Amino acid sequence: MAFLGLTLLHAVTSTFTLANCVRDRQETATFTGRVDQARSEKLLAEHDPFKVDT
C-alpha cells in the first residue's frame, strides 16, 4: 500500500512540475512576441516613405 501511495505522490508532483514548465515557456514566448511586436510598430511609426535624404 505504501508503494501505491508513493507512486501517486510522484505522479501528482510530476504533473504539477510539468504544468509549471509549460506555463513558464508559454509566458516567455508571449513576452518575446510582445517585445518583437512593439519593436516592429516603433520602426513602422518612425519610417517616412516620403522623406528625402539630402
Q: Which pLDDT value is given to residue 54? A: 64
Say how far residue 26 (Cα) sits from the centre of its chain: 3
Distance of alpha carbon 6 from alpha carbon 9, whole angstroms: 5
Find cell 501528482 and name the residue.
12
Amino acid at 3: F
- 3-state class of 20 per DSSP? helix
Q: Which pLDDT value is given to residue 44? A: 86
Q: Which pLDDT value is given to residue 4? A: 96
- pLDDT tens, per residue, the chain with 54 residues: 999 999 999 999 999 999 999 999 999 988 888 888 899 989 888 887 787 776
Predicted TM-score of the model (pTM): 0.60
Q: Which pLDDT value is given to residue 3? A: 95
